[in-house]
């Protein structure tokens, strides 16, 4: 997977991150913070491999 523009999504009510927005192979996805989710698992792997970073939410 080619992952770019990874950025946390924040719930402004609780001021906590609820997901990650990322472009994967050219398509925008909103990804839950759940390691059973294949996209989130891949993001964590690429972060660990220092291929990508996840930006803070706006």
The Cβ of residue 3 has, within 10 Å, a number of other Cβ atoms equal to 21
CB of 53 to another protein, least distance (A): 19
For the chain, helix, strand, coil in percent to 5 are 20, 45, 40
Instruction: Enumerate residues 1-58 that contact another protein by CB under 8 A.
Output: 1-2, 9, 11-13, 18-19, 21, 25, 27-32, 34, 36-40, 42
The tokens describing 41, both together, are 């698992």
The binding site for another protein (CB under 8 A) comprises 1-2, 9, 11-13, 18-19, 21, 25, 27-32, 34, 36-40, 42
């Amino acid at each position: 997977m080619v992952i770019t523009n990874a950025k946390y999504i924040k719930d402004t009510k609780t001021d906590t991150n609820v997901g990650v927005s990322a472009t994967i192979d050219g398509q925008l996805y909103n990804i839950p913070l759940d390691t059973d989710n294949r996209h989130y698992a891949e993001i964590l792997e690429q972060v660990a491999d220092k291929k990508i970073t996840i930006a803070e939410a706006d």
